[in-house]
């Protein structure tokens, strides 16, 4: 998903390109187009102070009620053949021709009598802004508030697009398809209703496993700066049915970019293999921002199968021994995320003016999600968040008697969030896709730490 300024501008439709050129011409001063990055420490900036105060003034409170009830459901969201694929700009809106494996929405519903929540994971590149906006209009009918809905995605780069309205959205997801967005929203609503109907008192457990053999740091090649942990939650209903929700930080980008075939990549094989042993399984992309998958057989479906199958075996080995227990604690929280001006880079020390960034990408609200189930906290971010931050978050969580899972793509998108030390690397994660500057990773991580304490 490479979106450098020059690349995006070169492949925009002619009319859009002409409008942007007029904007450039209208800017008499060069500083209107190309600017220096703002290196003001984020701790001194209004955007940090505002978001930090918002967290401090409305700390998530774990609400104790009756025994937690949990339900789950999945609904097929595969659109018709001819829908664009999403994930790689060089596809130029290429449409898929065949389905290797269908894509789904998988939903968990939680209720303890005092509070309720739903967790939705989509077999898509992200939880798109257009889909999130469509869902917002339906929550009241479902007796849900926006902060009770936790969105995420598997981040497969071979699922469908058609959901991006702005030029950059068209680059990475093809031409906008109103019918595809509407259908996706309807299927998500259906999955929520089904999951709620199927709720039963359930025991909950949290576990981890070692996925070191299947992941690498693609920014540096380091074997120490990796998030190798597979994290999962296990749910066991009183009626005997069981489910697993799992995260991993390896990018699902095994399959070749120019193959017009719809697929879930390795997360699809993973959940299918898990469902041979449990009644339901779901995957959410973890801190994938600087990590990719290690596989043996090239960019092939064989590699997809091997990776997903191996991950499932590792998880089941731990899950079969995991103790679960009833809990009554459930809380949800949604924090509006104030952001600095965008720093869409040109070279080492220049950036395009914010107005040009917004013209290409749009100006969307962003937020962080907090969902606590028992003593496990899920944190949702609107980004490719780097796994290099996970050690710090886990240390903080453990010191507070909690477990933590981080998931990305929560209904908005702010690019790659990586450590400051990588900012000058000549990598697209640091150059083309680091939309909010050198300090964005430290800033977001500081907010997540606040949510944990």
* Mean pLDDT of the 229-252 span: 98
Q: What pLDDT is stored for residue 348 in this prediction?
A: 84
383, 416 contact by CB (below 8 A): yes
* Mean pLDDT of the 128-145 span: 96
Q: Encoding tokens for residue 197? A: 């109907």
Q: Is the pLDDT of residue 28 over 50?
A: no
- The Cα–Cα gap between 353 and 37 comes to 10
Q: Write down the mean pLDDT value for the chain.
A: 93
Residues of the binding site for Zn(2+): 155
* Mean pLDDT of the 27-35 span: 63
State the pLDDT confidence band at 326, using cuts at 50, 70 and 90: very high
Q: Encoding tokens for residue 64? A: 């104790």
* Residue pointed to by tokens 């719809």: 262
157, 125 contact by CB (below 8 A): yes
Q: Is the pLDDT of residue 318 over 60?
A: yes
Distances (CA, A) of 221 to 107, 224, 291, 344: 35, 9, 9, 25
Q: What number of CA atoms fall less than 13 Å from residue 278's CA on the CB side?
A: 24
* Mean pLDDT of the 413-440 span: 94
Q: What pLDDT is stored for residue 26 in this prediction?
A: 46
Q: CA-based angle 1:157:435, to the nearest 5?
A: 30
Q: Is the pLDDT of residue 20 over 90?
A: no
Q: Is the pLDDT of residue 264 over 70?
A: yes
Q: What pLDDT is stored for residue 34 in this prediction?
A: 87
According to the 3-state scheme, what is the secondary structure of 163-220?
Answer: CCCCHHHHHHHCCCCHHHHHHHHHHHHHHHHHHHHCCEEEEEEEEEEECHHHEEECCC
Cβ burial of 442 (10 Å; 0-12, 13-18, 19+) is: middle
Q: What number of CA atoms fall less than 13 Å from residue 356's CA on the CB side?
A: 27
pTM over 0.85: yes
Task: Point out the least confidently predicted range of 3-17, 23-37, 154-168, 356-370.
Answer: 3-17
Q: Comparing C-alpha atoms, which of 110, 152, 128, 204 is closest to residue 403?
A: 204
- The Cα–Cα gap between 116 and 199 comes to 11
Percent of the chain with pLDDT over 70: 92
Q: Comparing C-alpha atoms, which of 406, 401, 402, 436 is closest to residue 418?
A: 436
Give 284-316 pLDDT, tens digit per residue: 999 999 999 999 999 999 999 999 999 999 999
Q: What pLDDT is stored for residue 453 in this prediction?
A: 85
State the pLDDT confidence band at 9, using cuts at 50, 70 and 90: low
Q: What pLDDT is stored for residue 347 in this prediction?
A: 83
H-state helical runs in 354-424? 354-361, 390-399
Q: Is the pLDDT of residue 442 over 50?
A: yes
Task: Point out the least confidently predicted range of 145-154, 215-224, 237-246, 269-278.
Answer: 215-224
Q: What pLDDT is stored for residue 366 in this prediction?
A: 97
* Mean pLDDT of the 238-263 span: 97
Give 50-103 pLDDT, tens digit per residue: 999 999 988 766 677 899 999 999 999 999 999 999 999 899 899 999 999 999
Q: What number of CA atoms fall less than 13 Å from residue 447's CA on the CB side?
A: 30
Give 184-214 pLDDT, tens digit per residue: 999 999 999 999 999 999 999 999 999 999 9
The contacts of residue 137 (CB under 8 Å, 6+ apart) are: none
State the pLDDT confidence band at 24, using cuts at 50, 70 and 90: low
* Mean pLDDT of the 150-168 span: 97
- The Cα–Cα gap between 227 and 232 comes to 14
Residues of the binding site: 155
* Mean pLDDT of the 349-359 span: 90
- The Cα–Cα gap between 430 and 384 comes to 12
| DSSP class of 5 | H
Q: What pLDDT is stored for residue 406 in this prediction?
A: 98
417, 385 contact by CB (below 8 A): yes
Distances (CA, A) of 126 to 1, 120, 279, 284, 412: 12, 12, 25, 10, 8
Torsional class of 291: left (φ above 0), alpha (ψ -120 to 50), beta (otherwise): beta
């Amino acid at each position: 998903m490479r979106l450098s300024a020059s690349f995006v501008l070169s492949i925009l439709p002619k009319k859009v390109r002409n409008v942007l050129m007029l904007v450039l011409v209208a800017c008499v001063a060069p500083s209107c187009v190309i600017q220096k990055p703002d290196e003001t420490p984020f701790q001194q900036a209004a955007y940090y102070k505002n978001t930090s105060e918002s967290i401090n003034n409305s700390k998530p409170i774990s609400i104790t009620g009756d025994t937690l009830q949990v339900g789950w459901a999945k609904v097929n969201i595969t659109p018709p053949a001819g829908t664009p694929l999403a994930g790689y700009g060089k596809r130029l809106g290429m449409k898929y021709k065949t389905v290797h494996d269908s894509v789904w929405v998988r939903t968990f519903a939680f209720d303890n009598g005092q509070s309720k929540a739903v967790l939705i994971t989509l077999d898509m590149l992200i939880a798109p802004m257009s889909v999130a906006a469509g869902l917002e209009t339906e929550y009241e009918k479902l007796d849900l508030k926006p902060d009770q809905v936790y969105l995420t995605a598997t981040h497969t780069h071979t699922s469908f697009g058609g959901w991006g309205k702005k030029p950059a959205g068209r680059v990475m997801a093809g031409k906008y398809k109103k019918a595809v967005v509407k259908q996706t929203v309807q299927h998500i609503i259906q999955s929520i209703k089904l999951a709620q109907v199927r709720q039963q008192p359930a025991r909950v457990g949290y576990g981890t496993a070692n996925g070191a053999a299947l992941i690498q740091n693609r920014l540096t090649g380091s074997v120490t700066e990796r998030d190798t942990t597979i994290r999962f939650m296990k749910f066991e209903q009183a009626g005997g049915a069981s489910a697993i929700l799992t995260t991993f930080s390896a990018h699902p980008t095994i399959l070749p970019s120019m193959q017009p075939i719809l697929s879930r990549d390795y997360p699809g094989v993973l959940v299918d293999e898990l469902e041979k042993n449990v009644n339901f399984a779901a995957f959410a992309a973890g801190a994938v921002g600087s990590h990719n998958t290690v596989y043996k057989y090239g960019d092939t479906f064989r590699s997809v199968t091997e990776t997903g199958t191996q991950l499932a075996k590792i998880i089941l080995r731990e899950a079969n021994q995991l103790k679960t227990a009833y809990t009554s604690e459930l809380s949800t929280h949604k924090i509006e995320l104030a952001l600095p001006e965008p720093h869409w880079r040109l070279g080492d020390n220049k950036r395009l003016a914010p107005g040009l960034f917004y013209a290409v990408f749009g100006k969307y609200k962003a937020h962080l999600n907090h969902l606590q189930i028992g003593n496990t906290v899920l944190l949702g971010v609107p980004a490719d968040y780097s796994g290099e931050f996970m050690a710090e978050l886990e240390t903080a969580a453990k010191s507070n008697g909690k477990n933590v899972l981080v998931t990305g793509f929560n209904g908005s998108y702010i690019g790659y969030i990586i450590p400051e030390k990588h900012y000058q690397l000549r990598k697209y994660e640091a150059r083309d896709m680091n939309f909010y500057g050198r300090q964005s990773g430290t800033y977001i991580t500081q907010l997540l730490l606040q949510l944990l304490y």
